[in-house]
Amino acid sequence: MTPLGAVFRPQLAPERLRAVARLADDAGLEELWLWEDCFREGGISTAAAALAWTERVRVGVGLLPVPLRNVAITAMEAASLHRMFPGRAILGVGHGVQDWMGQVGARVESPVTLLREHLLALRALLRGERVTVDGRYVTLDDVALDWPPEGPYGGVLAGATGPRSLRLTGEAADGTILTASTNADGVRKARQLVEEGRAAAGRGTGPHPLVVYLLTATGPDAAARLRAELTAEGDEAVPDLGVAGDARAVAEAVARLVEAGADSVVLQPTADEPDPEGFVRFAAEEVRPLVP
């Protein structure tokens, strides 16, 4: 069965999260995803709250911008979530939006180098290793976690768009997150680039999940809201991007992404979604039964 999720977008006030998270849990949705967008809501704080308010739903953060975070802090917070909520936290890291990184004085000359160094150190720390590294951006001197995750925890995912970054996720991450600007052809190309990175790093065996966001609108004004968001994001010329319509139309769009190589699909409401709770209920109760 293809895992299906929904996004709680940070355009919503933080106090809205509790109701949405509990609804996702009660309705049987597999995953609820959160974003650490500047300058809205923190990814770890919201994930911890959502996990504490729920019993079953997996909570993903896609993603934590690595320029904002010392890798030791990322590892400490990730390990804490994995130990407190075994099997339910999914954490992704990435470059972050470069303009935002510049606003806070965190923009680096080589985002790809930083992400590679952060991923390699983070995964080693979460494996319980003692790490010493003197990289261009990441420096650790005999660092080990007192409380690394116990047992399997799903690894560390990384978000990527460009070819170099996609190959890097295959090389150094345990899974890849693709934005809602990715159509089915983009998923196929991404899978190819990820596999090239895995092969170059000698990591060609074992799973490497692709998580794909799908911009989704439903209701009487769905098509207009979808067009407006695609235009605002500069994606209006990308063919077959996003979906507007009823549960069957959405399920068919999910199926196209899965056929192209997605392992899980996360329904992303438009920023002006008028009923976030209703959107989660729609995903869980109407779309989920139609997704194989």
Mean pLDDT lowest among 3-12, 105-114, 132-141, 203-212 = 203-212
- 220 phi/psi in degrees, rounded to 5: -65, -25
Beta-carbon-side half-sphere exposure of residue 152 (alpha carbons within 13 Å):
3
User: How would CATH label the architecture of 4-290?
Assistant: Alpha-Beta Barrel (3.20)
Measured in degrees and rounded to the nearest 5, phi and psi for residue 213 equal -80, 140
**3-state secondary structure (DSSP) of residue 132:** strand
Domain chopping of the chain, boundaries: 4-290
Looking at residue 204, what is its pLDDT?
80
- The DSSP bridge pattern shows strands 131-134 and 139-143 to be antiparallel
Residue 18 confidence (pLDDT) above 90: yes
Other C-beta atoms within 10 Å of 135: how many? 15
**Tokens standing for residue 263:** 């392992």
DSSP 47-116: HHHHHHH-SS-EEEEEEEEGGGS-HHHHHHHHHHHHHHSTTTEEEEEE---HHHHHHTT---S-HHHHHH
Which candidate, 252, 261, 236, places its Cα nearest to that of 292? 252
Q: Are 79 and 145 in contact (CB under 8 A)?
A: yes
Give the per-residue pLDDT at 226: 98
d(C-alpha 175, C-alpha 141), whole Å: 27
pLDDT (tens digit per residue) in 77-125: 999 999 999 999 999 999 999 999 999 999 999 999 999 999 999 999 9
Q: State the Cα–Cα distance between residues 201 and 180, nearest whole angstrom.
A: 27
Q: What is the pLDDT of residues 200-231, one digit of tens each?
A: 999 988 899 999 999 999 998 999 999 999 99
Query: Letter for the amino acid at 131?
Result: V
Q: CB burial class (10 A; 0-12, 13-18, 19+) of residue 113?
A: middle
Sign of the torsion angle spanned by Cα atoms 116, 122, 124, 129: positive
- Mean pLDDT rounded to a whole number for the chain: 97
- 240 touches 233 (CB < 8 A): no
Judge residue 87's burial from the number of C-beta atoms within 10 Å of its C-beta, 0-12 exposed, 13-18 middle, 19 or more buried.
Answer: exposed
Say yes or no to pLDDT of 53 above 90. yes
Return the axis-axis angle of helices 71-84 and 43-53, rounded to nearest 10°.
0
Residue 292's pLDDT band (cuts 50, 70, 90):
confident
pLDDT tens track for 245-270: 999 999 999 999 999 999 999 999 99
Q: Could you tell me which residues are beta bridge partners of residue 136? A: none
